[in-house]
Structure 1
Amino acid sequence: MGDEEQALAQRLRTHVEQLAGEIGERNIFRPRALHAAASYIERQWEQQGYAVERPAYEVSGVRCLNLEITRGGGAREREILLIGAHYDTVVGSPGANDNASGVSALLELSRLFAGAEPALTVRFVAFVNEEAPFFTSRQQGSMVYAEAARRRGDDIRLMASLETIGWYSDKPGSQSYPPLFKPFYPDRANFVGIVSNFRSRAAMRRLAAAFRANSDFPLETAATFPFVPGVSWSDHRSFWRQGYRAVMVTDTAFYRYRHYHAPADTPDKLAYPQLTRVTRGLYAAFSELARAGVD
């Protein structure tokens, strides 16, 4: 691992340790922790030179924030590539993998994009209230955001949800699947996945091709029905509901990670070298799409 990659790995680890270690469980039932997580993300983005938008709404008397920054586009600036991750946790878990891993990658992708000149507008959003009891409800942060985006007429060409991307294993049998998937995919949990519905399949394939062209990290893809367990279980679902193309980038969560939604989902569990390689591959892939577009 070179110096640059080591520095990236350390920053990713620091983000996870701050969110899942220092702050810990963060949701509206622990509003001080939820607000502390939002403040941490906002400070990171301000230090990177971004102006942070803070669209707010209230749930049970708690002020809830979706946080948003934008890297302005060039010739195709009306077209938007949106990259998001939720920063809240399920009750009872510090949420290192779910989803401090996704937020840490989001923060480092935005840092890398700060020096880029994309043709498209690249938007980074940290979503609140993804976890129960808000998932699929009108109070889910991404649902609030996606509905507002549709009302504004935002031309979101692709939304990518970074969801639980920090645990990997080369052990045989470490990976499981929904029914009927097992014969077609590896039995080792050493890959990252990109998942979409059928409408988003072409965009998913474009993103996957860009990832593979720039990274040798193992990647698997699936375009399938949203009712398959796990396929729609993140913020991309909110954008599907509004007619946008969207994908989930994931390590497959509970299909491999035994600490999913548990008190033991702590920073020491994550595989930081692999998370680093995934983050670098995603930056290269998103950069390619931000230059060439997502048609």
Structure 2
Amino acid sequence: MTFDHSPIRERLHAHVDRLSGQIGPRILARPESISATIGYLTSQWNEMGYEVREETYASSDGPATNLVVEIPGTSANEVIVLGAHYDTVATTPGADDNASAVAVLLEVGRLLKEVTPRRTIRFVAFACEESPYMSLGSMGSQHHAQQARQRGEKIAMLCLEMVGYFRDDPGSQSVPSSIPKFLHWLFPKRGNFLAAIGNLSSWQLSWAFRRGFKKASRLKLFSICLPEKIEEIRRSDNSSFWDAGYPALMLTDTSFLRNANYHQPSDTPDTLDYDAMSEVTRGVASAVKKLAG
């Protein structure tokens, strides 16, 4: 797959600027911010020719809404889900966390609009990933995964979680504290890669994703499957799908292990690397196409 790089970069920057530069913190306590976010995402998908479905459920703080669009496949009940949460914590405009991921979600949808897949491709913008909703069982991804299980869907899930912050200087990448020190040598020391992290049951998805990603992206990809007792790997929407029995990967710049702006007012659009995000977009689109068949 060959994509025009420059327009992707410009659109990614525009999405991040709109979500974090103009709308800012996206929390249920500021309903105008959620309304503006839903309006923007819906308008973007509508312009691409998608029909947007609102999936509203009861969270601990009232109604919350996931946004869902699909490219129907020919195989019944087989679905590739690409998802990203659109909410933030109250203390940050959330450029990397998680406007970067929502921007990539939109642009992958644009690149794949005309494909005819065997498995349905489903793009989901999730509500309520951030604290306190995870601990309260109110995550949008939990609702979606549980509903999918009840419908009997066969899902493989890719979770976009902070995909915009990259650094090449030595020591710019930390290792999760849950990883035993004698294994630290296995992990990169420069924050210049995208990580694709699975639980042990997701190893086949990890391998297939890697093959698809590397066909179209020059960005370094660090793929690893770890036991879920490594707590850092459960800190996003992928955990909702693991809990429902589905294979899932978290695709991430590794969050606080690299980005000191995590959950801070300084998580702003100017801190992101849009060239690297373009490579993420190209690679993820290629991988989704391969997984969908």
Structure 1 length as normaliser, TM-score? 0.94
Q: CA deviation at 1:4?
A: 2.2
Q: Which residue of structure 2 lines up, in the alignment, with residue 72 of structure 1?
A: 72
User: 2:41 matched to 1:41?
Assistant: yes
Report the secondary structure of 2:53's partner residue: coil
> What is the CA deviation profile of residues 15-48 of structure 1, one whole-angstrom value per residue up to 9, with x for unaligned ones?
0000001100011121110121111111111111
Q: Which residue of structure 1 lines up, in the alignment, with residue 110 of structure 2?
A: 111
User: 2:145 matched to 1:146?
Assistant: yes
Of 169, 172, 179 in structure 2, the residue corresponding to residue 171 of structure 1 is: 169
Q: CA deviation at 1:210?
A: 1.7
Report the secondary structure of 2:54's partner residue: coil
Report the secondary structure of 1:94's partner residue: coil
Within 5 Å, give how 1:70-109 maps onto structure 2. 70-74=70-74, 76-109=75-108
Q: Structure 1: how far apart are the matches of 2:91 and 2:122?
A: 31
Displacement over 6 Å in runs of 4+: none
Report the secondary structure of 2:58's partner residue: strand
Instruction: Judge conservation of contact 1:136–1:238 (CA < 8 Å) in 2.
Output: no
Of 252, 260, 264 in structure 1, the residue corresponding to residue 266 of structure 2 is: 264
User: 2:254 matched to 1:252?
Assistant: yes
Q: CA deviation at 1:3?
A: 9.2
Q: Which residue of structure 2 lines up, in the alignment, with residue 126 of structure 1?
A: 125
Instruction: Judge conservation of contact 2:45–2:52 (CA < 8 Å) in 1.
Output: yes
CA separation of 1:81 and 1:60: change in aligned 2, threshold 3 A: closer
Q: CA deviation at 1:211?
A: 1.3
Report the secondary structure of 2:233's partner residue: coil
Q: Which runs of 5+ in 1 are unaligned?
A: none
Amino acid aligned to 2:136: S
Report the secondary structure of 1:67's partner residue: strand
Q: Which residue of structure 2 lines up, in the alignment, with residue 285 of structure 1?
A: 287
Amino acid aligned to 1:264: S
Amino acid aligned to 1:188: R
User: 2:226 matched to 1:228?
Assistant: no
Q: Which runs of 5+ in 2 are unaligned?
A: none
Identity value in percent? 39
Q: CA deviation at 1:59?
A: 3.5
Q: Which residue of structure 2 lines up, in the alignment, with residue 275 of structure 1?
A: 277
Amino acid aligned to 2:278: T
> What is the CA deviation profile of residues 63-107 of structure 1, one whole-angstrom value per residue up to 9, with x for unaligned ones?
311000000113x24310010000000121110000000000000
Of 196, 199, 202 in structure 2, the residue corresponding to residue 200 of structure 1 is: 202
Q: Which residue of structure 1 lines up, in the alignment, with residue 240 of structure 2?
A: 238
Instruction: Judge conservation of contact 1:176–1:182 (CA < 8 Å) in 2.
Output: no
Amino acid aligned to 2:149: R
Q: Structure 2: how far apart are the matches of 1:174 and 1:207?
A: 26
Of 144, 159, 162 in structure 2, the residue corresponding to residue 161 of structure 1 is: 159
Q: Which residue of structure 1 lines up, in the alignment, with residue 63 of structure 2?
A: 63
Deviates more, 1:216-225 or 1:55-64: 55-64
Amino acid aligned to 2:72: G
> What is the CA deviation profile of residues 188-221 of structure 1, one whole-angstrom value per residue up to 9, with x for unaligned ones?
1000000010011111111112212332210001
> What is the CA deviation profile of residues 93-138 of structure 1, one whole-angstrom value per residue up to 9, with x for unaligned ones?
1100000000000000111111111111000000000000101432
Instruction: Judge conservation of contact 2:215–2:283 (CA < 8 Å) in 1.
Output: no
Instruction: Judge conservation of contact 2:77–2:152 (CA < 8 Å) in 1.
Output: no
Q: CA deviation at 1:61?
A: 6.0
Instruction: Judge conservation of contact 1:137–1:143 (CA < 8 Å) in 2.
Output: no
Report the secondary structure of 1:193's partner residue: strand
Q: CA deviation at 1:267?
A: 0.6
Instruction: Judge conservation of contact 1:92–1:261 (CA < 8 Å) in 2.
Output: yes
Q: Structure 2: how far apart are the matches of 1:289 and 1:60?
A: 35
CA separation of 1:281 and 1:3: change in aligned 2, threshold 3 A: closer
Q: CA deviation at 1:153?
A: 1.2
Instruction: Judge conservation of contact 2:73–2:116 (CA < 8 Å) in 1.
Output: yes
User: 2:72 matched to 1:50?
Assistant: no
